[in-house]
Amino acid sequence: MLFLVEMDYVRSGALPTPENGKFFIENFILPTLSMVEKLISEKNVAAGGPVAGRITLRFMVQAASPQEVDAIVSSIPLWSLAETKVTLLIDASERREHVQRLLESLTQEYNRDS
């Protein structure tokens, strides 16, 4: 199963102090980047990474189940501070077959009504 994962850091309204910024980088940004690099090297992440100029990740996870992708996503340090969206993707060929069957059904219905 292929999943699209979108993680967006949810910022608070307060401006960070240098101390808070240092804490955030050391405890969230750098560990998140390390974890993503590890997931890519282990082939758990098929493609993707950080988004340029934002505290955001976009990546594709190949997983056997939703539970497996959940375990992968929740292992990323930024997850606890991020708005996360996980979307199951299907093969284009599967969608094409479904749409073809739908078209055939609609054609039969149209021919019956004509």
The residue among 52, 54, 57, 48 whose CA lies nearest residue 77 is 57
Asked if 57 and 7 touch (Cβ cutoff 8 Å), the reply is yes
Using DSSP's 3-state secondary structure scheme, residue 105 falls into helix
Res. 10 pLDDT band, cuts 50 70 90:
confident
Per-residue pLDDT reduced to its tens digit, 53-65 = 999 999 999 999 9
pLDDT of 109 > 80? The answer is yes
- What are the extents of the domains in the chain? 2-113
Asked if 57 and 5 touch (Cβ cutoff 8 Å), the reply is yes
Using DSSP's 3-state secondary structure scheme, residue 22 falls into helix
Higher pLDDT, 60 or 15: 60
Superfamily of domain 2-113: Dimeric alpha+beta barrel (3.30.70.1060)
Q: Which tokens in the block code for residue 96?
A: 């094409």
